[in-house]
């Protein structure tokens, strides 16, 4: 593990502030240069001297102080950072930065920062699950802020629940995985991504769908945008904010997704099929609502076209990446699909297990291609998508794609 970065660590006022001291020690041990900014209330929990000694740098608390000293005015401090990490992040600091308030040094630095921002929240479980906190979290995620934790467990207040700050070692591991090398080689390329579930109507009011949330596909689209690609996202019905900076095409059925993807596949360089496309659709969509009846109800289904296989089967196919969600024999099924569908790469994950997969914030992937494989451990889908895009860029560039 190596965090060869300039980390600006914001410490806000919660009991977990004491863990931030260990965090500074670990970050420095892994090669990071660290400067610490504390909120006024953080100073009530831990002395700035502790952070000064551990970071080897002056600790900043007030805006006027920083700007008066002018060796490192607040804008310079924001510019200096490769990463802004707020740990612990209280409900209050998250609310402030989610709304663009800048009434102290840390919130001002957030506004001025152009580097990636991560927060490691810490708060009482009831405060964490309060709808307004959840709204602020959703807003921050939408603004590209990465979340590290919080964890489940016993809390300083004596309660048990979600809200404990992640352990410093886990925060470091996360930063290491998320702030890796910049993705090279996708700038200007056209990348087509499919995401989300499809809906197959049975009658005017009912449909058949699956548990896909679209989170992985949207994270992949965002990572590709960050890597400088021109991204088109064909999406089934999801409850996610549209990625900024891509063309978004909303579809409902597998048939519509097939049309939307195939009409663009010939002009793209890379196709990433993350969508959980329905394998079957009803032969007949009833014009009227199906009425309750005695006995069994039979509905006949017909197989849908496989979009991924159709893209890979084009005369001049793009670099084609599939996903495989499996409940058993992951490698065998994934490698089987790689061959049968003639893909360049397949990213497989377990579903139906306790963690990760459908509708979760986190996922783990085992990626296969002919002659190689790579495993990514359980992590936030946004970080995972970054790694996947990096791997796709490497494989896409390699002369020997087959």
3-state helix, strand, coil in the chain (%, to 5): 35, 25, 40
Count the residues in the chain: 402
| DSSP code of residue 370 | T
Nearest approach in angstroms of CB 299 to ligand C5P is 18
Closest to ligand C5P by CB, 78 or 275: 275
Give yes or no for residue 306 binding ligand C5P (CB under 6 A): yes
Give yes or no for residue 273 binding ligand C5P (CB under 6 A): yes
How many C-beta atoms lie closer than 10 Å to residue 330's C-beta? 17
The interface region with ligand C5P, picked from 2-10, 29-37, 79-87, 316-324 by CB under 6 A, is 316-324
The interface region with ligand C5P, picked from 201-209, 240-248, 302-310, 351-359 by CB under 6 A, is 302-310
How many C-beta atoms lie closer than 10 Å to residue 181's C-beta? 6
Known active-site residue 157 = yes
Out of 46, 87, 307, 385, which residue is the one contacting ligand C5P (CB under 6 A)? 307
Nearest approach in angstroms of CB 401 to ligand C5P is 18
Judge contact between 346 and 366, C-beta under 8 A.
no
Closest to ligand C5P by CB, 227 or 254: 254
Nearest approach in angstroms of CB 346 to ligand C5P is 8
Nearest approach in angstroms of CB 136 to ligand C5P is 33
Give yes or no for residue 199 binding ligand C5P (CB under 6 A): no
Give yes or no for residue 323 binding ligand C5P (CB under 6 A): yes
**Selected catalytic residue, list 115, 157, 172, 246:** 157
Quick note: the x/- pattern for ligand C5P over 207-246, rule CB under 6 A, is ----------------------------------------
Give yes or no for residue 324 binding ligand C5P (CB under 6 A): yes
How far apart CA 402 and CA 398 sit, in angstroms, is 10
The interface region with ligand C5P, picked from 146-154, 172-180, 294-302, 305-313 by CB under 6 A, is 305-313
Judge contact between 321 and 272, C-beta under 8 A.
yes
Strands (DSSP E) contained in 55-202 are: 83-89, 117-121, 146-147, 151-154, 160-164, 190-195, 200-201
**DSSP letter for each residue of 134-177:** HHHHHHHHHTT-EE---EEEE-TTS-EEEEEPPPHHHHHHHHHH
Out of 86, 277, 367, 393, which residue is the one contacting ligand C5P (CB under 6 A)? 277
Judge contact between 197 and 276, C-beta under 8 A.
yes
Give yes or no for residue 322 binding ligand C5P (CB under 6 A): yes
208 by DSSP, 3-state: which? strand
> Exposed, middle or buried by CB within 10 Å (0-12, 13-18, 19+), for 58?
middle
Nearest approach in angstroms of CB 354 to ligand C5P is 21
The interface region with ligand C5P, picked from 48-56, 219-227, 273-281, 393-401 by CB under 6 A, is 273-281
Closest to ligand C5P by CB, 39 or 281: 281
Which stretches within 266-305 are classed as H helix? none
The token duo for 202 is 């049975």
Strands 280-282, 301-303: pairing is antiparallel
Nearest approach in angstroms of CB 307 to ligand C5P is 3
Considering only CA atoms, which of 391, 374, 364, 369 is closest in space to residue 216? 364
How many C-beta atoms lie closer than 10 Å to residue 31's C-beta? 12
Write the CB contacts of 247 (distance below 8 Å, at least 6 apart in sequence).
Answer: 231, 232, 233
The interface region with ligand C5P, picked from 80-88, 137-145, 318-326, 374-382 by CB under 6 A, is 318-326
Quick note: the x/- pattern for ligand C5P over 335-374, rule CB under 6 A, is --x-------------------------------------
Give yes or no for residue 173 binding ligand C5P (CB under 6 A): no
With the C-alpha atoms ordered 176, 330, 255, 319, is the resulting torsion angle positive or negative?
A: positive
Out of 20, 268, 275, 312, which residue is the one contacting ligand C5P (CB under 6 A)? 275
Closest to ligand C5P by CB, 137 or 312: 312
Give yes or no for residue 388 binding ligand C5P (CB under 6 A): no
Give yes or no for residue 176 binding ligand C5P (CB under 6 A): no
Which parts of this chain interact with ligand C5P (CB under 6 A)? 194, 254, 273, 275, 277, 279, 304, 306-308, 322-324, 337
The catalytic site residues sit at 157
């Amino acid at each position: 593990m190596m965090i060869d970065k300039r980390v600006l660590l914001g410490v806000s006022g919660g009991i977990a502030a004491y863990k931030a001291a260990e965090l500074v020690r670990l970050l420095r041990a892994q090669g990071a240069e660290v400067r610490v900014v504390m909120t006024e209330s953080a100073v009530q929990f831990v002395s700035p001297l502790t952070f000064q000694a551990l970071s080897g740098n002056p600790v900043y608390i007030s805006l006027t102080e920083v700007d008066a000293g002018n060796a490192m005015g607040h804008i310079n401090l924001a510019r200096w950072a490769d990463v802004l990490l707020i740990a612990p992040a209280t409900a209050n600091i998250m609310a402030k930065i989610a709304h663009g308030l800048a009434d102290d040094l840390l919130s001002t630095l957030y506004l001025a920062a152009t580097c990636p921002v991560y927060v490691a929240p810490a708060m009482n479980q009831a405060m964490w699950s309060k709808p307004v906190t959840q709204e602020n979290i959703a807003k921050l995620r939408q603004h590209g802020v990465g979340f590290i934790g919080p964890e489940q467990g016993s809390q300083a207040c004596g309660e048990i629940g979600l809200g404990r700050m992640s352990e410093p070692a886990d925060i470091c591991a996360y930063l290491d995985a998320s702030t890796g090398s910049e993705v090279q080689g996708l700038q200007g390329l056209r990348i087509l991504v499919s995401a989300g579930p499809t809906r197959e109507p049975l009658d005017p009011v009912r449909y058949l769908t699956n548990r896909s949330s679209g989170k992985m596909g949207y994270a992949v689209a965002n990572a590709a945008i960050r890597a400088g690609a021109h991204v088109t996202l064909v999406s089934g019905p999801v409850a996610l904010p549209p990625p900024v900076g891509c063309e978004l095409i909303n579809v409902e059925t597998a048939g519509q997704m097939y049309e939307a993807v195939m009409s663009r596949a010939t002009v793209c360089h890379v196709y990433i099929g993350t969508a959980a496309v329905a394998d079957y659709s009803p032969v007949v969509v009833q014009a009227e609502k199906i009425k309750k009846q005695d006995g069994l109800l039979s509905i006949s289904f017909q197989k849908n076209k496989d979009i991924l296989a159709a893209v890979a089967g084009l005369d001049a196919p793009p670099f084609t990446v599939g996903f495989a969600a499996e409940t058993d024999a992951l490698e065998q099924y994934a490698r089987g699909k790689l061959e049968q569908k003639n893909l360049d790469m397949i990213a497989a994950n377990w579903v139906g297990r306790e963690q990760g997969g459908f509708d979760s914030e986190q996922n783990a992937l085992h990626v296969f291609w002919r002659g190689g494989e790579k495993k990514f451990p359980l992590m936030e889908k946004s970080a995972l998508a970054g790694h996947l895009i990096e791997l796709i860029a490497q494989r896409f560039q390699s002369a020997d794609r087959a």
